[in-house]
């Protein structure tokens, strides 16, 4: 049995064509049921639905053999060097693409605020990425860890800036925030449990190969 960990939403939707290339079809719709273990047309493959941030944890602990997780999630899980903690990252799947950016209120002077040696208050869910980014610029950062709705923090004076994912930019626009710096491009990667890679070598090798053949340009 091969267990694949996915999160609901964009990653799930954009992984379906990759699974199809491997001859795998998920036979249940996660939007229509509360089930956490989904069967597929293949008796030897199942999908487990977990929170996006939990995908690396499940794969690392062998609860799933493979998983799909965003670069953001992987960096926050294991640091920017990746590839440790029993997690192997063989493929960038080029799906669920967006960017990690810094955004501020339109009336905030970001250029002055990030002069070397200055101090800035940053609200984010992505504390590893944010602290590395500002450390590289030589800017002291007071990090405020939030779990969602980060756009609110600069609006009510809790932070000067946010570090968040931007896709269309609509969320920023709706909250009168402007993107002032792109930190990195984000896409989702395949992660594989290192023990599974040895014990289920052939099955996993075939999956990786099929996924690789179907990566969108
Ligand atoms: C992300 C991100 C922004 C939004 C950006 O949230 O945190 O809020 O998407 O997308 P846009 O640029 O297209 O408006 P997501 O919907 O993934 O949910 P989350 O708040 O749970 O992370």
Pocket of ligand 1 (CB under 6 A): 148, 164-171
Distance from residue 164's CA to the centre of ligand 1 (Å): 8
The percent of residues above 70 in pLDDT, for the chain, comes to 98
> Residue 84 burial by CB count (10 A; 0-12/13-18/19+): exposed, middle or buried?
exposed
Choose which residue among 10, 154, 162, 167 to substitute to test ligand 1 binding: the one with the highest number of ligand atoms within 8 A of its C-beta. Answer: 167
Instruction: Report the nearest atom of ligand 1 relative to the CA of 166.
Output: 12
Distance from Cα 170 to the centre of ligand 1, integer Å? 9
96-114: burial string, b at 16+ Cβ within 10 Å, e else? bbbbbbbbbbeebebeebb
Tell me if residue 45 falls in helix, strand or coil: strand
The CA distance from 165 to 160, in Å, is: 17
pTM for the whole structure: 0.94
> For residue range 14-69, what is the model confidence (pLDDT) as tens digits?
999 999 999 999 999 999 989 999 999 999 999 999 999 999 999 999 999 999 99
pLDDT at 152 over 70: yes
pLDDT of residue 82: 61
CB 163, CB 101: distance < 8 Å:
yes
Mutate to test the pocket of ligand 1, among 101, 124, 147, 171 (most ligand atoms within 8 A of CB): 171
> Contact, 75 vs 174, CB < 8 A?
no
Report the distance separating Cα 91 and Cα 191, nearest Å.
8
> Over 60: is that where the pLDDT of 83 sits?
no
Query: Do 178 and 104 contact (CB within 8 A), yes or no?
Result: yes
Closest CA to 24 of 16, 32, 13: 16
In this predicted structure, what is the pLDDT of residue 175? 97
Length of the chain: 217
pLDDT the model gives residue 28: 92
- 193 has which bridge partners? 87
Residue 146 has pLDDT above 90, yes or no: yes
Please name the residue whose Cα sits nearest to atom 6 of ligand 1.
165
Q: Average pLDDT of 194-205?
A: 96
pLDDT of the residue at 79: 81
Q: Which of 73-87, 93-107, 195-209 has the lowest mean pLDDT?
A: 73-87
Strands 66-70 and 119-124: unpaired
Give me the mean pLDDT over the 188-200 stretch: 97
Which pLDDT does position 80 carry in this prediction?
72
């Amino acid at each position: 049995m091969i267990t694949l960990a996915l999160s609901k939403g964009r990653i799930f939707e954009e992984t379906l064509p990759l699974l199809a290339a491997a001859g795998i079809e998920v036979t249940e719709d996660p939007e229509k049921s509360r089930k956490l273990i989904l069967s597929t047309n293949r008796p030897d493959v199942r999908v487990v639905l977990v929170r996006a941030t939990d995908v690396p944890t499940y794969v690392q602990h062998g609860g799933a053999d493979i998983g799909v997780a965003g670069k953001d999630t992987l960096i926050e899980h294991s640091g920017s060097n990746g590839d440790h903690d029993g997690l192997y990252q063989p493929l960038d799947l080029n799906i669920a693409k967006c960017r990690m950016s810094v955004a501020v209120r339109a009336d905030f002077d970001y250029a002055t605020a990030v002069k070397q040696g200055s101090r800035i208050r940053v609200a984010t869910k992505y504390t590893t990425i944010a602290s590395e980014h500002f450390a590289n610029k030589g800017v002291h950062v007071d990090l405020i860890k939030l779990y969602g709705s980060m756009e609110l923090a600069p609006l009510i004076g809790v932070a000067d800036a946010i570090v968040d994912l931007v896709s269309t930019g609509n969320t920023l626009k709706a909250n009168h925030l402007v993107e002032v710096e792109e930190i990195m491009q984000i896409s989702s990667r395949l992660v594989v449990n290192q023990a599974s890679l040895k014990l289920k070598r052939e099955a996993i090798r075939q999956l990786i190969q099929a996924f690789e053949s179907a990566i969108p340009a």
